[in-house]
Amino acid sequence: MPQVSYDVVGPYARVTLDAPERRNALSLALLDDLAAALDRAADDYVRAVLLQASGPAFCAGLDLDEALRDGVAASSRRLADVLRAILALPKPVVARVHGPVRAGGVGLVAACDVAISADTVSYAFTEARLALAPAVISLVVLPRMTPRSASLSFLGAAPFPASEAAACGLVTRAVPAGSLDDALSAVLADLTAGHPQGLAATKQVLNADVLRRFDEQADGLVALSSELFASEPARAAMAAARRR
């Protein structure tokens, strides 16, 4: 059963993470479906992409059950591919963040060109408490956040509100939950008014430095992520987290 749905709404494509029973955790299957949806959006005659999620959470990060069972070599590589695809897609990608976001899910939000969050949402980089590091997602998160905010959020691993996510640059704007769709409609109207060539060229200018760093460092960070997930301290911490 597909874990990501895709449809076209006028001038934009809507890509929905659709595994609510798993809090849209980033399993290899979900990442494969997301990569396919992004490829489809690149080919479709749409001017923008809306990335959203079903269920109460936006994304819980990598699937811990799968990580303990199969390791994360394949899923870390696939996550890197998906983040790069969002950055390189020749169309603006907008995140609609309605519920909690953790770890790898924050990477999806950071990779998007625009992220509009409900002000009730909490964010967290939980990796350090699981004997891990936000390795792969650092490629897209660090260019967004101020260095001091990133240090505290990465090392402290505590949840922080959408207002702080907006203040440090992780999301574009935090709005009242009841106004989320109105705010998104206004943003999408502005983006889809752009000419496809202008949008593609402008996005290329905006993301050139991030993509250059991505291509230089991605392989090493994928390897680091796989090594940490396979370690005994991380496996013990993840198993304990599953029991809570």
pLDDT value, residue 178: 98
Average pLDDT, the chain: 97
Tell me whether residue 57 is in a domain.
yes
pLDDT tens readout for residues 221-240:
999 999 999 999 999 999 89
Q: Residue 243: pLDDT above 90? A: no
Residue range 94-111, pLDDT digits in tens: 999 999 999 999 999 999
Task: Answer yes or no: is 66 within a domain.
Answer: yes
Q: Is 112 inside any structural domain?
A: yes
Could you tell me if 145 and 125 are in contact, meaning their C-beta atoms sit under 8 angstroms apart?
no
Q: Are the C-beta atoms of residues 150 and 130 closer than 8 Å to each other? A: no
pLDDT in tens, 4-58: 999 999 999 999 999 999 999 999 999 999 999 999 999 989 999 999 999 999 9
Asked if residue 28 is part of any domain, the answer here is yes
Residue by residue, DSSP assigns 136-170 as: TTHHHHTTTS-HHHHHHHHHH---EEHHHHHHTTS
pLDDT in tens, 114-134: 999 999 999 999 999 999 999
- pLDDT tens by residue, 64-99: 999 989 989 999 999 999 999 999 999 999 999 999
Q: Looking at residue 6, what is its pLDDT?
A: 98
- Secondary structure element (H or E) that encloses residue 155, with its range: helix 147-156
Asked whether residue 20 is domain-assigned, the answer is: yes
User: Given a cut of 80, is residue 242 above it in pLDDT?
Assistant: no
Residues 225 and 134: their CA atoms lie apart, in Å, by 8
Q: Is residue 197 part of a domain?
A: no
In this structure, is residue 228 part of a structural domain?
A: no
Q: Which residue range(s) make up the domain with 12?
A: 4-177
Q: Does residue 201 lie in a domain region?
A: no
**Closest C-alpha among 214, 78, 81 to residue 138:** 214
In this prediction the pTM is 0.97
CATH number of the domain at 61, please: 3.90.226.10
> Count of domains in the chain?
1
Q: If you average pLDDT over residues 164-184, what whole number do you get?
A: 98
